């Protein structure tokens, strides 16, 4: 694929929407998400020979993980470069699209309510929430990525969760019924 425009275009076309969904969680507009995603693809094309295939049965999931990491880093770099302090919440739907789970109407309503709540988090809380809860980074990795202490990462996550839990209505089994 090195410097093969046809292959690069195929990869870009196939995974652009995936990259946009990820970058949109970190930056405050679709336009900025597009810039961050494009920055990520430049890095992907430049470093594609570094992508190692260790398990040929799971190549696509390995590729998605590699792309995800690059897009997250490019989004955080973009935020720093552009002095952006705002992000636009979590797009949980990306997990459903790659696992074949469909949203029904009820889940779609809960999803929209959750997104609107997450958008109310402060920028620092949103970024840590996204990195830890959605993307699975450790507090040490988050601290290194954002230039904060591990304690600050843990504190921001705790405050984000506390904020979100104030608005959840649960049944006696702990299932989320709705948001207040």
DSSP 56: G
Instruction: Please state, in angstroms and rounded to a whole number, the distance separating the CA atoms of residues 154 and 160.
Output: 10
Instruction: Please state, in angstroms and rounded to a whole number, the distance separating the CA atoms of residues 93 and 108.
Output: 9
Give me the pLDDT at residue 89, please: 32
Give me the pLDDT at residue 135, please: 85
Instruction: For the chain, give every domain's residue range.
Output: 1-88, 104-180
Residue 68: name the closest of 160, 134, 2 by CA.
Answer: 134
Tell me the mean pLDDT per 10 residues along the chain, length 180.
81 93 82 92 91 83 91 89 49 33 48 72 86 90 91 94 78 60
Give me the pLDDT at residue 14, please: 94
The radius of gyration of the chain from alpha carbons, rounded to an integer in Å, stands at: 17
DSSP 28: S
Pick the CATH number of 104-180 from 1.10.3720.10, 1.10.10.10, 3.40.50.360, 3.40.50.10490: 1.10.10.10
For residue 53, the tally of other CB atoms under 10 A from its CB is: 9
Give me the pLDDT at residue 93, please: 33
Instruction: Please state, in angstroms and rounded to a whole number, the distance separating the CA atoms of residues 115 and 54.
Output: 36
1-88: CATH topology:
Rna Polymerase Sigma Factor; Chain: A (1.10.1740)
Give me the pLDDT at residue 29, please: 78
DSSP states along 105-160: HHHHHHHHHHHHHHHTS-HHHHHHHIIIIIT---HHHHHHHHT--HHHHHHHHHHH
Residue with tokens 């029904």: 104
Give me the pLDDT at residue 39, please: 95
Instruction: Please state, in angstroms and rounded to a whole number, the distance separating the CA atoms of residues 30 and 26.
Output: 10
Give me the percent of the chain exceeding a pLDDT of 90.
33
Nearest 5°: the CA angle 54, 20, 131 is 70
Structure pTM?
A: 0.66
């Amino acid at each position: 694929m090195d410097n093969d425009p046809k292959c690069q275009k195929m990869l870009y076309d196939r995974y652009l929407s995936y990259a946009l969904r990820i970058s949109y969680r970190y930056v405050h507009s679709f336009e900025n998400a597009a810039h961050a995603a494009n920055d990520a693809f430049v890095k992907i094309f430049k470093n594609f020979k570094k992508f190692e295939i260790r398990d040929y049965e799971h190549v696509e999931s390995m590729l998605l993980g590699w792309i995800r990491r690059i897009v997250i880093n490019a989004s955080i770099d973009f935020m720093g470069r552009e002095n952006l302090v705002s992000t636009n919440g979590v797009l949980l739907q990306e997990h459903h699209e790659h696992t074949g789970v469909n949203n029904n109407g009820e889940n779609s309503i809960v999803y929209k309510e959750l997104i609107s709540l997450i958008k109310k988090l402060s920028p620092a809380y949103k970024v840590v929430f996204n990195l830890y809860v959605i993307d699975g980074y450790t507090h040490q990795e988050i601290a290194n990525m954002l230039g904060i202490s591990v304690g600050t990462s843990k504190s921001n996550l705790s405050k984000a969760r506390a904020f979100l839990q104030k608005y959840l209505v649960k049944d006696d089994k702990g299932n989320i019924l709705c948001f207040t």
